[in-house]
Amino acid sequence: MNDQTPDSATDIPALMQAMGQRARAAAADLAFASPEAKRRALEAAADIVTARLPDILAANAQDMAFGRDKGLSPAMLDRLELTEDRIAAITAGLRAVAAQDDPVGAVIAEWDRPNGLHIQRVRTPLGVVGVIYESRPNVTADAGALCLKSGNAVILRGGSESFHSSGILVEALRAGLHAADLPEDAIQLVPTRDRAAVRELLTMTDYVDVIVPRGGKGLVGLVQAEARVPVFAHLEGICHVYIDRAADPETALKVTLNAKTRRTGICGAAECLLIHRDVVDSIGQGVIRALLDAGVEVRGDATLQSIPGVTPAQEDDWGREFLDMIIAARVVEDIDAAIAHIRRYGSSHTESILTEDDAAAHRFFQRLDSAILMRNASTQFADGGEFGMGAEIGIATGKMHARGPVGAEQLTSFKYLVTGQGTTRP
């Protein structure tokens, strides 16, 4: 955490500009830090988190008390809470990112020209990343680690509920940087709960290269509307599962159940089920009943309402992110109708086709353009860790620069290195 812990009388724009300047300076050095130094910093941070376990639990207890006073819901308090196990998961995440290949300097492509020029395209950090998030303190560690790995400075702005927990995690990350002789200002936490700091962060185009918001639709929508710098984000995860005519019944049953019910509050949870008309009475019936038996409220179209327990879907149930034990379900004429429905109502996050037909899967993969398209797999796999990225700073549904789960590699840009032998252009 920074030296200043200003009260409400502080000049927030000046404070944020100063943080931005420090971040920019740190980024210039971090850009060419050795892979070994960055790895050492992350390992040291993990050691320090482990050593300071009692302090972290005490800081988190303060945050939990504040959260209870504030009347946070049990679900929010659960996200906020740190336990020994959760802190162990944080250190494991830091070590996993430390062990990854360093993306900076990696040669993405290289080729020779007839005139003898050798051209390389190599990865380079983006610069300064701003991360705005809500209650979960582990985002502090994940985002800090991924930005450090990718050579970017980061300005973290956690939710006011996690103020003390995030503060102590940032102290550990900065101590890790210090231990590896890297600039501590590469990781900074906004030292105020004042919301004006968020507005400033979103518009500091001189000092911030990209903003990553992590949280609910309210937070992400605000960031997308007000940011004057690029944003990597998804507003909603309206994920679809399509049971094709050629679906395997067993796969359809277990994947649909998993996609809806494993965890309902995450962005990769399925919100809408589309069923090919030819298999409604066979596979469809079984899947819908299994969902109902699992306690899911199924809001179906006219055809599906004939199944006992299915309630009528309203027009606004299509394209709706329930984040709960509710699913919208509809019968479609064919795969093209499924694709058309997803194009109309989807949020370009994750969709899965359940089919044994290669041609159908190919059509689904080719004609849809969500960040993640799946075949015979649960939408709940939409996650950087599950993709093998060690962690993720967020999931992006835009098409500029980063897309899908954003790990260290997607936090880089590139530059061209061109080598000649006194080569001149005719």
Least gap, CB of 82 to a copy of itself (angstroms): 23
DSSP at 269: S
Q: Which is nearer to a copy of itself, 359 or 400 (CB)?
A: 400
Residues that bind a copy of itself (CB under 8 A): 28, 31-32, 105, 111, 113, 117, 119, 124, 126-127, 209-210, 230, 248, 250-251, 254-255, 257-258, 262, 343, 361, 365-367, 369-378, 380-381, 386-388, 399-401, 403-404, 413-425
**Between 66 and 414, whose beta carbon lies closer to a copy of itself?**
414
The minimum distance between CB 121 and a copy of itself, in angstroms, equals 8
What stretch of H or E contains 298? strand 297-300
Phi-psi region at 215: left, alpha or beta (left = phi > 0; alpha = psi -120 to 50): left
Nearer to a copy of itself, 197 or 211 (CB): 211
Strand partners, 212: 131
Q: Please give the full DSSP string across 213-265, using - where no structure is assigned.
A: EES-HHHHHHHHHH-SS-B---S---EEEEE-TT--HHHHHHHHHHHHHS-SS
Nearer to a copy of itself, 93 or 137 (CB): 93
CB of 377 to a copy of itself, least distance (A): 3
Q: Which amino acid is at 163?
A: F
For a copy of itself, the closer CB: 252 or 310: 252
Of 366, 371, 367, 365, the C-alpha closest to 400 is 371
Smallest separation, CB 200 to a copy of itself (Å): 21
- How far is the C-alpha of 240 from the C-alpha of 316, rounded, in Å? 15
Shortest Cβ 188–a copy of itself spacing (Å): 20
Taking the complex as a whole, the smallest distance from the CB of residue 31 to a copy of itself amounts, in Å, to: 7
Burial of 111 (0-12, 13-18, 19+ CB in 10 A): exposed
Assess contact for 155 and 23: CB atoms under 8 A. yes
The least distance separating a copy of itself from the CB of residue 403, rounded to whole angstroms, comes to 6
Tokens linked to 117 = 């020029």
The whole-angstrom separation of Cα 394 and Cα 413 is 17
Residue 99 vs 418, nearer CB to a copy of itself = 418
Specify which residues 354 forms β-bridges with: 243
- Compare residues 176 and 268 and give the one whose CB is closer to a copy of itself: 268
Reference 106, options 419, 418, 420, 413; nearest CA is: 413
